[in-house]
């Protein structure tokens, strides 16, 4: 597949096209922490529902598969929450497989930033839902089990943004969630930075880059 480079508006048009096609489409949106994945997915779902009817599209975040804080404590990984080994990757891949089949209502977990924990059974995906937009850091990772996702998504998009802008956005968000400026910056550069470095090269497997 040739690689497309597009604006958010062009990406939205493509999503409407996919949603109108008739059968279930599962779209993956990857990108570094703070690159705008969740915002793009929200915008796509809102635009598709506005054009084709409410409930045509639904957003399913990979973040619903964050391990719980208790599990991270037990594993000694709480200090690098968001790293590739702090998610239930097999659980996420299994969910995407079920989303592709589309024969029953699938209840997906969400991540609640207010309590900083995943919450099971949060998002209903009905068999009639045309477009599922799933988004997360590691959707294009080439290690198992993530690599299996390549055959499950209809298309995979990558959110691209200038690194300085991305870090500023993350600092802002970490501060809104209660960290002081120095702690927010340290987390954005050190913990999120390691994850961003892992995600960046995976753009080569994306079908489209979206400038956010």
Q: Cβ closer to Mg ion: 102 or 140?
A: 140
Q: Which DSSP helix (H) or strand (E) runs through 29? A: strand 25-30
Please calculate the CA angle 152-144-206 and round it to the nearest 5 degrees.
Answer: 50
**Footprint of ligand ATP (CB under 6 A):** 31, 33-39, 137, 169, 172-173, 212
How many other C-beta atoms can be found within 10 angstroms of the C-beta atom of residue 43? 19
| Of the candidate residues 38, 137, 156, 202, the single one contacting Mg ion (CB under 5 A) | 38
Do the bridges between strand 155-160 and strand 25-30 make them parallel or antiparallel, or are there none, so unpaired?
Answer: parallel
212 contact choice in Mg ion, ligand ATP, none (CB below 5 to 8 Å, kind-dependent): ligand ATP
Q: Which is nearer to ligand ATP, 9 or 104 (CB)?
A: 9
Residues 168 and 173: their CA atoms lie apart, in Å, by 9
**Min separation Cβ 185 and Mg ion, Å:** 19
Minimum separation from the CB atom of position 120 to Mg ion (A): 18
Check whether the bond before 145 is cis (ω within 30° of 0). Answer: yes
Could you tell which of Mg ion, ligand ATP, none binds residue 51, using a CB distance below 5 to 8 A set by kind?
none
Binding residues (CB under 5 A) for Mg ion: these are: 38
């Amino acid at each position: 597949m040739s690689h497309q480079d597009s604006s958010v508006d062009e990406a939205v048009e493509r999503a409407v096209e996919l949603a109108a096609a008739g059968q279930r489409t599962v779209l993956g949106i990857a990108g570094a922490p703070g690159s705008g994945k969740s915002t793009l997915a929200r915008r796509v779902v809102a635009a598709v529902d506005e054009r084709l009817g409410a409930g045509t599209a639904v957003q399913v975040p990979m973040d619903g598969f964050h391990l719980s804080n208790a599990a991270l404590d037990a594993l000694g990984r709480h200090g690098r929450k968001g790293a590739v080994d702090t998610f239930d990757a097999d659980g996420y891949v299994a969910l995407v497989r079920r989303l592709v089949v589309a024969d029953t209502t699938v209840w997906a977990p969400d991540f609640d930033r207010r309590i900083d924990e995943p919450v099971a059974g949060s998002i209903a995906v009905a068999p009639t839902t045309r477009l599922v937009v799933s988004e997360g850091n590691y959707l294009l990772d080439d290690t198992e089990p993530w690599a299996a996702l390549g055959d499950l998504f209809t298309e995979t998009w990558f959110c691209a943004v200038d690194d300085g802008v991305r870090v500023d956005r993350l600092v802002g968000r970490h501060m809104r969630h209660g960290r002081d400026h120095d702690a927010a910056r340290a987390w954005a550069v050190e913990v999120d930075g390691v994850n961003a470095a892992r995600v960046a090269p995976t753009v080569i497997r994306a079908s489209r880059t979206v400038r956010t």
